[in-house]
Amino acid sequence: MNLAQFPRRGYLQGPTPIESLANFSEALGNKVNIWMKRDDLLPGCGGGNKTRKLDYSFADAIEQGADTIVTCGAVQSNHCRLTASWAVKESMDCHLVLEERVKGSYHSDASGNNFLFQVLGTKSITVVPGGSDMMQEMQKVADKLTAAGKKTYIIPGGASNAIGATGYVACAQEMLQQLFEMKLSIDHVVVPSGSAGTHAGMVSGLVGNNAHIPITGINVSRPKDLQEKIVHDLAVLTAERVGVEQEVPEKSVVCFDNYVGPGYSLPTDAMIEAVKLLAATEAILLDPVYSGKTMAGCIDLVRKDYFAGCENILFLHTGGSPALYAYLDTFR
């Protein structure tokens, strides 16, 4: 598995830290030592995991001669924020298609990522109803831009295709090297599972490196069975792309859908507890849509002894804290 063969833009400035959450672990009864991989500290406006994926996506776009990026996400999308951010750095136009998964939730004057879309000079924002065919909606925008003379490149939601997920194969390798250097053995990894690219890339990377570390995804929207299939399918495609010789077993993909609550992006009491507890014990901010619900799941699994027999677990922090400012009333 030689990742150097794949073009990337070099957005990363080095490995993101792995930190001990000693105070947080103590607050949960010291049942297990919790560590955190700080991908919230990745470069790009506001930071977050999408930078790893966009490193490869933008490289492919530039190789194809694109001058304009079209991508999609939900209202307050972290992926859209970071795509707009890297488009600025690459002197490319960026057009967003936002899916209003909760009717009436899009407000052009909202805070959080919606505000940052404007600050970053996004060329256009198209809002479509929840359940829309997002690839089709992006293609409509791209077709109009192409007709106007632009060279467009479509990045799927979350940059979650085999190109983008390669960034998290690289993350798995980075993490394993750090653990070796730290003389730290991790028994389990917990990740958010949304558009699937991060989860799938980590699975492919761990399988490809014969790490034998189980990984659990906490769903932010879809039912368990559907999400596990989507993640596994993408993990297989990603493994094929990067040259993993081993089969990616279906049992390597495990998801929990118990922590979604009433729906994608809708607050839960457990999410609020998770955000407040981590902030109060470690001064680290989570976001209300992805990492907050994932940490809520992690907390519950610790309390239910899901990690019994484990000494150390690692939580992958995917960032997204700018979205907190769109949820002020939730935390007051």
Report, as an integer, the average pLDDT of 129-157.
97
Residue 204 confidence (pLDDT)? 98
Report, as an integer, the average pLDDT of 7-30.
97
Residue 202 confidence (pLDDT)? 98
What is the tens place of the pLDDT at every residue in 285-301? Answer: 999 999 999 999 999 99
End-to-end CA distance of the chain: 48
CATH architecture of the domain with residue range 3-48+161-331 = 3-Layer(aba) Sandwich (3.40)
CA atoms within 13 A on the CB side of 118: 8
Residue 24 pairs in a beta bridge with: none
What is the tens place of the pLDDT at every residue in 175-193? Answer: 999 999 999 999 999 999 9
In words, the CATH class of domain 50-159 is alpha beta
Cβ-contact 227, 257 below 8 angstroms: yes
77 carries an active-site annotation: yes
Assess whether pLDDT exceeds 90 at residue 105: no
Q: Choose the catalytic residue: 20, 25, 57, 77.
A: 77
Domain ranges of the chain: 3-48+161-331, 50-159
Nearest to 184 by CA among 14, 312, 23: 312
Report, as an integer, the average pLDDT of 246-254.
96
The 3-state secondary structure of the chain reads: CCHHHCCCCCCCCCCCCEEECHHHHHHCCCCCEEEEEEHHHCCCCCCCCHHHHHHHHHHHHHHCCCCEEEEEEECCCHHHHHHHHHHHHCCCEEEEEEEECCCCCCCCCCCCHHHHHHHCCCCEEEEEECCCCHHHHHHHHHHHHHHCCCCEEEECHHHCCHHHHHHHHHHHHHHHHHHHHHCCCCCEEEEEECCCHHHHHHHHHHHHCCCCCCEEEEECCCCHHHHHHHHHHHHHHHHHHHCCCCCCCHHHCEEECCCCCCCCCCCCHHHHHHHHHHHHHHCCCCCCCCHHHHHHHHHHHHHCCCCCCCCEEEEEECCCHHHHHHCHHHHC
pLDDT above 90 as % of the chain: 95
pLDDT, averaged across the chain: 96
Assess whether pLDDT exceeds 90 at residue 108: no
3-48+161-331 and 50-159 share one CATH topology?
A: yes
What is the tens place of the pLDDT at every residue in 56-101? Answer: 999 999 999 999 999 999 999 999 999 999 999 999 999 999 999 8
